[in-house]
Structures are given as structure tokens and as C-alpha cells.
Chain A
Amino acid sequence: MASVVNIGRRIELVPIDPHFKDITIALYQQELESRAVYRVHTYSSFEGAENRIQEVSYAMRILGGMQQNNDGLLCFPCGDKHEAACRRVFLEACKIAPDTSIQPRPLKTLDKKSKQTITVDSVENGIYSVRSNGEGRSAERRVAAIAAGLAKLGEMNNSKDNDPNSVVFPCGQSHDELVGLLLVRAPNVRVILREEESVAARGVLTAPSQQS
């Protein structure tokens, strides 16, 4: 029978994979030669489970612009952790059904709230600048809010000139695929946070007096 293995610190979990026999898939973080590396893992021994792990790892490579070594460990080309962003890449990768064509997400999205198209430009030194095709104060506010959403989801910083519409990863390098992936969610970070709270609350046993 299989046994628990020491494969690092678990940073994210999908308790039920809707695409393969309800297995649990986890993302573990390790350190390899001073670089943060990630392993997608399941304890399931179902036939096909390993293949599913490879599918998720592949999706992470495409969606997050990650690299994979011969041991199946994933990392960002810059070597930084980008932990929060990596967790989002993992969660999105797990949502993709097998045999789906996977493409990096574009640096452009429709903001449903303002009905405007939001575009992120990759400028020099890893700085990303957010803009919209709308005009006026409302559009400005949405652009700033979406930039703040990117910063929150990707643990990014404001650029040095404190432009509220520009963000940069701590590594100072470009990660276009990662920004494209985060951009889809950046317009409504509150929904993400509520989803995370809901997922975290699931599986917590409460006393009968607190159950409905």
C-alpha cells in the first residue's frame, strides 16, 4: 500500500477533481537549488491518476508560463516563488477538462461591470500597465481597481513611479502568461475571496448547535 511522502509544503488543494474520479489534487512547494519549485500531486492510486497529474502540470506550464524539469517539478523562469499567483494557476489548471486545447490567456479582457475592454501592456522592466477603451472617471476607477486586483491576486507591487494603473512582480521580470491568467479574475477579486472562504469552510465540522 502507498504511504505518505515528504514532498514539501502543501500550498493549495482541489479536494474533488471533477474531471477524474473525484480524486484530490494538491500543489506542493519545495526548494531546489535556492529556487522555488512546485509539484502537482495526488495520493490516489487509480489507474490514470498519474496521467491526470501530468495533464494539470501541462496546463500550468501553458497558463502560467512555467517550466518543468525531468522530475516533473514546475517553476517560473525567474526562479521566484510567486506563490499566490502559482496557486491561481493551479486552481485554473484543475478546472480544464482533459483533451481541451489550452492556450495562454490574452492580455485583454472584457470587464463585465463597465462593459469596457481592459488591456494590459507589458512595458519595460517587468512593468504592466492597465488601460481601458473607455473614458472618464468611471473608466479610470475601473482601471485602477483592476490594477489593484492584479496586485492582490499576484502579490504584485505598484511600479516605482506609484502609478496606480501599473504593477510589477517582485522579481522585476515579465510574466505575460501569468498576468493574462490573473487578468480574467482581477476585475472582481471579492468574488474570488468569497469563493476561497467558501471552499475553506467546506469540510470543517461544526457543533450541532451551529449547523442548520
Chain B
Amino acid sequence: MQHTVKQMSGRERVLAALRNEPTDRTPVCNPTSVATVELMDLVDAPFPQANREPELMARLAATGYTELGFDTIMPVFTIIQESSALGCKIQWEQKDNWPTVKMREPIWEDVDDINIPKDFLTHPDTQCVLEAIKILKKEYGDEVAVIGKTMGPWSLGYHCFGVEPFLLLSLDDPGKTKLALDRMKEATVQFGIAQIEAGADALTLPDHATGDLVSGEYYKRYLRDLHIEFVERIPIPLILHICGRTVDRMEYIAQTGMAAFHYDSKNEPKESMDIVQKRIALIGNINNPETLFAKEPEDVKIEVVKNLEAGVPLIGPECAIPLQTTIENLQEIPIAVQEWHRKNG
């Protein structure tokens, strides 16, 4: 089917795939970061500044397209921008490491503590994202899809309450947990809509109900309906991101109406496609710590082909790539996709 479609720009290709429409070839998509320390040097935009200054954030993000050949640009490298704006203490780290929330110093203890500050969208760490998206949209908006990111309430719960207290709350008091999620979801919606207004073409929505700590039933109980609500309230293709083994919740995820699910290499492409069918597009799932970080381009190619042969409609790394990943391994993803299409149409 794909060879009958006229040649598309990266942006057209990605958006078509997110709408489950035909594409000229499978798009290469990074819903999460592809920044590396070498790319930081190349454009003089190192962490942590590239997470806090919009020009640097945009410049580093653009390398995903200009140097790696992806069909998307995703400037929101971290998962802490809105948590910082909510008041969490941040360990910003150095060039070679990710900033993290100091979750041992939670800002909220009870549902009634939840408060989205009035300056949430004008805080420097959310503003940085909005300004970077505007820069990228202006410079590359016709060529590639600019993808933003807004964190889901489960992830915000971990950051603002601490992982253990939030999980214990979910065990002890489901009612309070739902109320907490309901209040925190407003941050997700506000930041998402602000990014649409800044020019984002799609949004990644990480909500870390990860396979290691949260079951599929938990996902259904606490998050499925919330995610359906996000689809209704944030009018743009949404890409849900959850790490880990998630086949036990893919059925529920497929029911949300999200445009895509960014899935982990702990799930086999074929088994995942069998579950979601055409109800939601899958994006992934090239392994980060073993393949992209530690192996060779030939190994990357094998995983790309495995996804293509399973019919996965958008190809990319499974999550934010390690900062020391080699450039040649990342470049191999679009190379392998194009090579596969030359052979298979």
C-alpha cells in the first residue's frame, strides 16, 4: 500500500501515521529525547543549560532531524520541566546526566496540598519548552513534526508525593488517589494546550504506570478513563508513553483513543501489534541500554526490521536514549527503515 502514496515530508508522514493513514514509508519518530553528549558539543548546547534555555533546547533538539535524519523533533528532553514549575526540588546534574526530581523531599503529603501555581505556565522551566517549540515550529515546521511533551498525573504523583507514598496511597485509599489524579491532571491539560498554542504537532504523554510496579488492572482502574479524558480535552494527536512490560494493559490503552502508544522493548512487536490491532499506532521499540547504547549498527538494524515486519507504523527508540549513545547507532534507524522500504516497498 505504501508505495502508492506520493512522497511526503517528515511532518506529513508522521501525522498521517498517527491518524492511521497510508504513508510513503514508515516514519522515524522520537517521542522522547535523542540528545547525546556528542550532539551537545556539535551545537554547543549542553545539559543542563539545554533544559533551561529555549534557544539551546531548540538547537539541540533540531539535531534529531538535521544530523540523525528522524522525521520528528522533540525538544522536551527531561521528564521534570512541569514538576519544577509545580515547585519540586530539582537536581539539575551536569552535561552527562539527567536532571531528576528530589523525590525524597516531596512537596505534597495530602490531596488537599495539591496546588497548581498561578505561574505554572510562565515558570522558566515550562516557558523554556514553549519558547523552544515556537523556535522549532518557525524553523522546521514545514519539514518535520514538532513533538511536545506533557507529563501525566501518575508521573506527577511520583514526583510531587514521592514514589512510595503515592503507591501506598493508591493501595490504601483509591478514592483519595483518584481525587489526587483528578486534581493533578489539570497540569497535564494546561501544559499540553499551551504547547499546542506554541505550535506542537503532537504531544507525548508519559504516565509512568510502569510494568514493574503497576499492574494492568491498576491501569484500568486509575488511568484508562483519565487518558480518554485527555484525548477529549487536548485536541492534538497524543502519544502515550509507559516504560516496561505493558502487554497486560495494551488492550485498555488501545481503548483510550490516543493516537499512539510509545512502547518498550520488553514487549515483542508482533504480540503488541496483535493486541492493539489498528486501534492505536505503536511507536518503538528499539532497545536503549543494550542495543543503541552498547551494540553495533547491524544490531540496531535487526530490531528496526523486526518492528517493520510486525507492521509497527512508527519506528524509534523505546525511550529517552542514554546520553552516551553513539551517533552512528542512531543514524542507523532511518537508514534501516529506508533500506527496508527499498526492498519491500
Contacts and interface: CB of A to CB of B under 8 A. Distances in A.
Interface of A: 1-4, 6, 9-10, 13, 15-16, 22-24, 26, 42-46, 200, 202-205, 207-212
Query: Main secondary structure on chain A at its contact with chain B?
Result: loop
B309 interface: no
B43 interface: yes
Contact of A3 (B33, B67, B293, B322): B67
Contacts of B328: 6, 9-10
A207 B213 CA distance: 11
Given A15-B96, A203-B97, A208 B323 contact: no
Interface in B33-79: 33, 37-44, 46, 66-67, 79
A208 B96 contact: no
A100 B28 CA distance: 47
Interface of B: 33, 37-44, 46, 66-67, 79, 94-98, 100-101, 103-104, 155, 158-159, 163, 208, 210, 212-213, 243-244, 288-289, 293-294, 296, 319-320, 322-324, 326-328, 331
A45 B44 contact: yes
Nearest to A22: B95
A203 B210 contact: no
Nearest to B99: A205
Contacts of B44: 44-46
B159 A15 contact: no
Contacts of B208: 207-209
B41, B46, B66, B104: residue with the most chain A Cβ atoms closer than 10 Å = B41
Given A3-B42, A200-B324, 11 more contacts: A4-B67, A10-B326, A13-B37, A15-B324, A24-B37, A24-B40, A45-B44, A203-B323, A207-B208, A209-B158, A211-B103
A2 B322 contact: no
Given A205-B319, A209-B158, A15 B95 contact: yes
Given A10-B326, A211-B103, A43 B39 contact: yes
B213 A209 contact: yes
